[in-house]
């Protein structure tokens, strides 16, 4: 069944109207016909099964048939991802969305190559949020993660609420293995955390000063194994482990 996204405030009435871009795709690419069934995801847990009511040159109108709810995953996972070169961030956002993260925070660290002014940052945020929308349509999750504007480590630590369990991928000597850090937390808390944060550095890793700031804010340095992973591989690895351990 084909899937579309509409924000929750546009899903209240019985008849729904697809966005201009989705309407064009539905009409010209998918060739949807009257009375076909599709799904609409509202990004906050609702899956709306709809029937195509009308297809015109400018609009595709859907009629709600059934509403199903999917509860949020028990652990709210935040990915703090140092902004990589080129379009790698889009792949990371896509995979992170498929793995159920609730928020993606692009980090502007010292060794990040890309530098953005305020206008560019807003434009990038909008584009990256759209990548997350496309990802939930692909995987079928009704929960849309938020993608924030790129921000410095100082701004993130100052403005973002800390997670109950937080780790930073580290290349330094003798960090804990991620699974051992999880075991230690669970043994002490006797329950999974309500929120978990995972910091992934840029090529060349965070600087010593940056790592110290993140650790002082409560993040535990962890190793992801004996090999040096690319940033996108590290993100997927870490999020997969957190998903397996905390989202049971």
Instruction: Please list the residue range(s) of the chain that carry CATH number 3.40.1280.10.
Output: 76-246
Measured distance CA(73)–CA(102) in Å, rounded: 9
- Secondary structure (3-state) at 158: helix
- Two structure tokens written together for 192: 């999974």
Residue 33 has phi, psi (to 5 degrees) of -120, 160
The pLDDT of residue 227 is above 90: no
The pLDDT of residue 180 is above 70: yes
**Confidence category of residue 58, pLDDT binned at 50, 70, 90:** confident
- pLDDT attached to residue 94: 97
What is the tally of helices (H) and strands (E) in the chain? Answer: 7, 13
pLDDT digits (tens, 9 = 90+) for 30-41: 999 999 999 999
Q: Are 179 and 233 in contact (CB under 8 A)?
A: no
Measured distance CA(74)–CA(150) in Å, rounded: 26
Measured distance CA(26)–CA(19) in Å, rounded: 10
For the segment 199-206, the average pLDDT, to the nearest whole number, is 91
Q: What's the pTM value of the predicted model, to 2 decimals? A: 0.93
For the segment 205-222, the average pLDDT, to the nearest whole number, is 94
Percent of the chain with pLDDT over 90: 83
pLDDT digits (tens, 9 = 90+) for 91-135: 999 999 999 999 999 999 988 877 787 888 899 999 999 999 999
Among candidates 107, 138, 99, which has minimal Cα distance to 237? 99
- pLDDT attached to residue 203: 86
- pLDDT attached to residue 111: 85
Instruction: Please list the residue range(s) of the chain that carry CATH number 2.40.240.20.
Output: 3-69
**Confidence category of residue 213, pLDDT binned at 50, 70, 90:** very high
User: Which CATH code for domain 3-69?
Assistant: 2.40.240.20
DSSP state of 9: G
- Two structure tokens written together for 107: 């980090």
- pLDDT attached to residue 173: 67
User: Under CATH, which architecture does the 76-246 domain have?
Assistant: 3-Layer(aba) Sandwich (3.40)
């Amino acid at each position: 069944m084909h899937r579309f996204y509409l924000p929750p405030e546009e899903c209240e009435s019985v008849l729904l109207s697809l966005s201009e871009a989705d309407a064009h795709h539905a009409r010209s690419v998918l060739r949807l016909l009257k009375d076909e069934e599709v799904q609409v995801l509202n990004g906050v847990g609702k899956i709306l099964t709809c029937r195509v009511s009308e297809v015109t040159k400018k609009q595709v109108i859907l009629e709600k048939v059934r509403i199903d709810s999917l509860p949020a995953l028990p652990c709210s996972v935040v990915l703090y991802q140092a902004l990589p070169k080129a379009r790698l961030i889009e792949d990371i956002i896509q995979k992170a969305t498929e793995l159920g993260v609730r928020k993606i925070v692009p980090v502007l660290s010292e060794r990040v190559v890309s530098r953005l002014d305020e206008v560019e940052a807003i434009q990038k945020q909008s584009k990256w949020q759209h990548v997350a929308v496309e990802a939930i349509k692909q995987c079928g999750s009704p929960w849309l993660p938020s993608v924030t504007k790129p921000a410095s480590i100082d701004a993130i630590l100052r403005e973002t609420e800390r997670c109950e369990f937080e780790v930073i991928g580290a290349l330094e000597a003798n960090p804990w293995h991620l699974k051992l850090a999880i075991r230690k937390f669970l043994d002490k808390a006797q329950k999974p955390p309500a929120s978990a944060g995972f910091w992934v550095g840029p090529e060349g890793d965070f600087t010593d000063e940056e790592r110290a700031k993140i650790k002082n804010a409560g993040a535990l340095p962890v190793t992801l194994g004996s090999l040096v992973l690319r940033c996108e591989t590290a993100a997927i690895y870490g999020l997969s482990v957190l998903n397996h351990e905390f989202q049971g």
